[in-house]
């Protein structure tokens, strides 16, 4: 056999090895995410009611003070479920401020779209039991958003967010130029959140104690790229 054949075979085996190592690495990250999600959800279940109510109020205040909120004409926000940072007061405040409020509707295919609402009465339980806009609400395009408020199980100071594993926001956020802010109680901040290449890093993380400008930190870092992991 020719030398070129053995060279091809060696390169092929090297590619296979790299692919296998990549797949193992991805599997490891998924396992790490699942374990961290389990730990943090257990921690969330143990948070006191008074702490949650107070932190929610303070997070709302911090969001309302953000320049990005004040300048945005359209706010895209999740409708909170039990345990998450409450957004219902924020929705009402934004509507009172004359802003257009859009909330998500999630499809079975893993695709999320945004629809405008004029009041809380235009919400009904969706496919996951989460309140979603009723059928007559009009879709709001991703490019029209001014600020996106994102839920999380936990988040790191680097803006790496851990969600519930559906990937809805990781698919949606690359479609908009609007800054994304994760709302996360200080008790749910993690020193490190494992990330994958497709995970979309936040521009801001808002807790009851601070607004972390990940966007600014990223711009000051070499290359200014969105870090993952």
Condensed to tens digits (0 to 9), the pLDDT of residues 147-204 reads 999 999 999 999 999 999 888 999 999 999 999 999 999 999 999 999 887 789 999 9
Gyration radius of the chain over CA positions: 20
- What is residue 21's predicted lDDT score, i.e. its pLDDT? 45
Domain extent listing, the chain:
48-224
Identify the pLDDT of residue 215. 78
Average pLDDT, the chain: 87
**Model-level pTM?**
0.84
- CB-CB contact of 158 with 124 (8 Å): no
C-beta of residue 179 within 8 angstroms of C-beta of residue 77:
no
pLDDT of 114: 97
Helix (H) / strand (E) containing 23: helix 3-45
Q: Look up residue 185 and give its two tokens.
A: 């109680």
User: Is residue 229's pLDDT more than 80?
Assistant: no
Confidence of residue 35 (pLDDT cuts 50, 70, 90): very high
The whole-number pLDDT of residue 16 equals 44
pLDDT at 198: 79
Could you tell me whether strands 74-77 and 100-106 are parallel, antiparallel, or unpaired per DSSP bridges? parallel
Calculate the CA dihedral of residues 132, 67, 71, 158 and round it to 10 degrees: -50
For the domain spanning 48-224, the CATH number is 3.40.50.10420
Tens of pLDDT along 62-107?
999 999 999 999 999 999 999 999 999 999 999 999 999 999 999 8
Q: What is the model's pLDDT at position 19?
A: 46
What is the pLDDT at residue 132?
A: 96
Contact 211, 155 (CB under 8 A): no
**Residue 96 structure tokens:** 């009172």
């Amino acid at each position: 056999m020719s030398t070129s054949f053995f060279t091809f075979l060696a390169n092929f085996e090297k590619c296979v090895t790299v692919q296998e190592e990549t797949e193992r690495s991805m599997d490891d990250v998924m396992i790490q995410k699942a374990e961290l999600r389990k730990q943090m959800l257990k921690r969330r279940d143990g948070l006191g009611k008074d702490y949650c109510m107070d932190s929610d109020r303070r997070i709302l205040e911090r969001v309302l003070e953000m320049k990005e909120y004040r300048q945005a004409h359209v706010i895209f926000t999740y409708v909170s479920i039990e345990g998450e940072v409450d957004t219902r007061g924020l929705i009402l405040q934004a509507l009172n401020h004359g802003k257009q409020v859009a909330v998500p509707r999630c499809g079975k295919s893993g695709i999320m779209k945004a629809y405008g609402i004029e009041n809380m009465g235009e919400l009904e339980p969706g496919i996951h039991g989460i309140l979603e806009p009723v059928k007559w609400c009009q879709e709001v395009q991703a490019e029209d958003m001014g600020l996106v408020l994102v839920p999380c199980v936990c988040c790191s100071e680097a803006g790496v967010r851990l969600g519930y594993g559906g990937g809805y926001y990781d698919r949606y956020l690359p479609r908009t130029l609007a800054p994304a802010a994760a709302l996360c109680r200080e008790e749910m901040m993690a020193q490190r959140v494992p990330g994958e290449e497709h995970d979309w890093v936040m521009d801001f993380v808002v807790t009851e104690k601070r607004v972390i400008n990940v966007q600014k930190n990223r711009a000051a870092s070499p290359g200014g790229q969105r870090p993952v992991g």
